[in-house]
Amino acid sequence: MGEGKLVMNATLVTGAGGYLGSVLVQQLLLRGHRVVAVDAFYSGDVLPEHPQLEIVRADVRHLDPAVFDGIGSVVALAAVSNDPAAALNERWTREVNELAAERLAAAAREGGARRFVFASTCGVYGGAAQVMDETSTVAPRSAYSESKLAAEHAILAQRADGFEPVALRLGTLCGLSPRMRRDLVVHAMTYSAVAHREIVVNGGEQWRPLLHVADAAAAFLACLEAEPGQLTHPVYNVVGENLRVSEIAELVAKHLDGIEVRTRESQDDAISYRVNGQRLHDDTGFAPARRVADAIDEVHRYLLEPGRLAEMSTPQFSAADTMERLLVTPAVCGGQPVRAEALPFALPLLGEAEETEVLDTLRSGWLTTGPKSKRFERMIADYVGARFAVATNSCTGALHVGLAAAGIGPGDEVITSPITWPATANVIVHLGARPVFADIDPDTLNIDPSAIEAAVTARTKAIVPVHMAGQPCDMDAITAVAAAHRLTVLEDAAHALGARYHNRRIGELSTAAAFSFYATKNLACGEGGMLVTDDEALADRARSLSMHGISKDAWKRHTVTGSPHWQLYEPGYKYNMPDITASLGLHQLPRLAGFIMTRSRYAHLYDEAFADLPGIEPLLTRPGIDHAHHLYVIRLDLDRLTVTRDEFVAALRAEGISTGIHFVSLHLQPYYQRVHDLAPDALPRAREASERIVSLPLYPKMTEADISDVIAAVTKLATAYHR
């Protein structure tokens, strides 16, 4: 098999491993052409090794531009072929038959190819009593023929000096090929005659334009080898014989002898048309050399070979059966992915107002902490119902200065959830205190108040509940534990801006709460965080700690009304939020309600789709709360699936769906296992959740079509891997 690049004037053939492509490639090689054969080869390898042949295994929707190097002409055969196959997934049909063909033509022209021959269909004529020629009105009646006609228009519109695209509208093919099919009318009747000794005809008066596959290949050769300017028309019909369906059946019965032809009334096949192929003959001299009777004889002989009859009954000999198999087979196992382009796990939704505000900040010359971060603080405080807000560079920073300002230090213990981002526990460690992990409620992934109570010791000074995925924790129970033991509660609300607990916003329930404005959060500033509290002393100390522990930030030191003098009260940190970050938040916050509404609607679609899907368990939503829907987490019932969570995630990636894992329990992480001597079974519910959870894409920039793709991918895999 040829390796490396072929010289100039090679012919690139997409769909080269298909029914027509495999015949055309052989004819091209016999005539001395150098061939680059592109195909996904879903039905196996059928092309022979040849020194003039280079095989490229690829999906036509994702071709490397380098494949066009040295290409002089292109034959575009790749398609979801025939009406039943195309109807199974019309988006896939459009992507392959129309959009990929259009891109292929553009890439061919850009790469220097001179001629582009596109395989269309006579099906674009729909149906008519008269014989149709290329000037006749088109009236496609199926997704397949519609996609082919749309591709014709897109391809022919790219005609330019030195680039000649033409479309060949082919009749229904028949005859012997290295890649045989059962689902062509001549083949289906011949197969039925051999296998069942009868042919059943629906109606029978419908006309079909028929064409031997070898003649179809010859028509492409005639176009490829035509002189410049010889192809004076953009579209050509290619047909051998026009026969009624009943006539085809009689030809098959006559050839085999003793075959019963049964005709039944049916409205299922109302398409009927005849076509004229004189134009191609006039321009190239092409004339079909084979008749339908020749194809019947070839197929009959093929079926009489040992094992062929049984083999031809398998799905790979039917375009629709093959496509159906590809649609239900996981892409990681060779099936067709749900999406051609990967869906990102999360993206922010930013608009013109955010862009304008950022530009205003850049042009102002004041980028660090200043008037915009102060305005953003006030907006957040008002939104959550807190007296004070301290803007920081991250939620990590907000948690750190919040706990520090609350007096947490060496020797103290702080109870928190193990199902969280490491920052929650890490800031406790940075203060010299010890994080104590309490197990979770497996139905919500939130910390279990009874586990908090059990974890309290004489050294416990604070509780940091984490509102996982945007669902508030059981704050009544947590507040009761805190009150009983005189503990500070600082909520990790990184996921929960906009959530409510019994009609009160998260941020007004406890001593303090910390929010995140990371790039993928409900309110996105790229980075950023906010500490909110009603405690003025705590807010003042947290603000100072966020600016090295000094008395004034840059705005108070360097503006015309400020003073350059400052005092250091205690060693602090560099956690302040710059105005460039706040610029985004000023316009994200007014949009937050709409963002959450969209997230909620999408989460509801997920809930409905997965409610009764074996192997998939959505998290529960507790009554009395308004969920912020930052994440949508499912749990896999591994007892009902044949794969692990990580294998399921890899399979989703192959389907074009990006995912997350929120989170692998901190008590299973090497640092906390080593330093705190935590065994995996110390927190059994967190350990089990860590092995089962998967986060699916959920964000306002998604469309409902994206949600449908995620649902389709999860459903496909849950079905394929069902135990």
CA dist 24 and 175 (Å) reads: 13
What are the helix (H) ranges across 337-413?
A: 352-364, 371-384, 395-405
pLDDT, the chain, mean: 95
**pLDDT of 508 strictly over 60:** yes
- The confidence band for 567, taking pLDDT boundaries of 50, 70 and 90, is confident
CA dist 522 and 348 (Å) reads: 8
Query: Please, are residues 72 and 115 in contact by the beta-carbon 8 Å criterion?
Result: yes
- The confidence band for 119, taking pLDDT boundaries of 50, 70 and 90, is very high
- The confidence band for 6, taking pLDDT boundaries of 50, 70 and 90, is very low
How far is CA 476 from each of CA 387, 449, 462, 473, rounded to the nearest angstrom?
21, 9, 16, 9
What pLDDT score does 476 carry? 98
Choose the most confident range, by mean pLDDT, from 59-68, 213-222, 363-372: 213-222
Query: Please, are residues 39 and 18 in contact by the beta-carbon 8 Å criterion?
Result: yes
For residue 15, give the amino acid letter: G
**pLDDT of 171 strictly over 60:** yes
- 3-class secondary structure per residue, 91-140: HHHHHHHHHHHHHHHHHHHHHCCCEEEEEEEHHHHCCCCCEECCCCCCCC
Rounded to a whole number of angstroms, the CA Rg of the chain reads: 34
Beta bridge partners of 211: 173
CA dist 488 and 491 (Å) reads: 10
CA dist 58 and 72 (Å) reads: 20
Query: Please, are residues 538 and 405 in contact by the beta-carbon 8 Å criterion?
Result: yes
Closest alpha carbon to 717 in 630, 659, 632, 631? 659
Rounded to 10°, the helix 423-430/395-405 angle is 40
**pLDDT of 557 strictly over 70:** no
What pLDDT score does 311 carry? 96
pLDDT in tens, 308-338: 999 999 999 999 999 999 999 999 999 999 9
Give the other-Cβ count within 10 Å of 681's Cβ: 9
For residue 195, give the amino acid letter: A
**pLDDT of 364 strictly over 50:** yes
Given the DSSP bridges, would you call strands 616-618 and 632-636 parallel, antiparallel or unpaired?
A: antiparallel
What pLDDT score does 128 carry? 83
Residue with token string 């159906």: 324
How far is CA 12 from each of CA 115, 170, 533, rounded to the nearest angstrom?
11, 20, 67
**pLDDT of 214 strictly over 80:** yes
Whole-model pTM: value is 0.87
What pLDDT score does 459 carry? 99
In degrees, to the nearest 5, what angle opens at C-alpha 408 toward C-alphas 402 and 411? 155
Domains of the chain: 10-328 (3.40.50.720), 352-591 (3.40.640.10), 592-720 (3.90.1150.10)
DSSP 33-65: --EEEEE--TT---PPP-TTEEEEE--GGG--G
What pLDDT score does 273 carry? 92
Query: Which tokens hold the place of 559?
Result: 């503006």
pLDDT in tens, 604-660: 999 999 999 999 999 999 999 999 999 999 999 999 999 999 999 999 999 999 999
The number of residues in the chain equals: 723
What pLDDT score does 196 carry? 96
Closest alpha carbon to 686 in 705, 663, 703? 663
Q: Which is catalytic among the residues 5, 521, 556, 701?
A: 521
- The confidence band for 249, taking pLDDT boundaries of 50, 70 and 90, is very high
Mean pLDDT of 248-256: 97
How far is CA 654 from each of CA 334, 620, 637, 649, 717, rounded to the nearest angstrom?
10, 28, 21, 9, 11
**pLDDT of 552 strictly over 90:** no
Check residue 665 and report its DSSP letter. Answer: -
Closest alpha carbon to 165 in 178, 150, 155? 155
Cα 75 to the center of its chain, rounded Å = 29
6-15, 282-291, 602-611: least confident range: 6-15
What pLDDT score does 554 carry? 63
**pLDDT of 560 strictly over 80:** no
Mean pLDDT of 659-674: 97
Cα 206 to the center of its chain, rounded Å = 42
What pLDDT score does 9 carry? 80
Closest alpha carbon to 488 in 528, 529, 431? 431
pLDDT in tens, 694-710: 999 999 999 999 999 99
Q: What count of Cα atoms within 13 Å lies in the side-chain half-sphere of residue 14?
A: 28
Cα 24 to the center of its chain, rounded Å = 34
What pLDDT score does 43 carry? 86
**pLDDT of 449 strictly over 50:** yes
What pLDDT score does 1 carry? 37
Residue 521 is a catalytic residue? yes
Query: Which tokens hold the place of 468?
Result: 């996982």
- The confidence band for 569, taking pLDDT boundaries of 50, 70 and 90, is confident
**pLDDT of 2 strictly over 50:** no
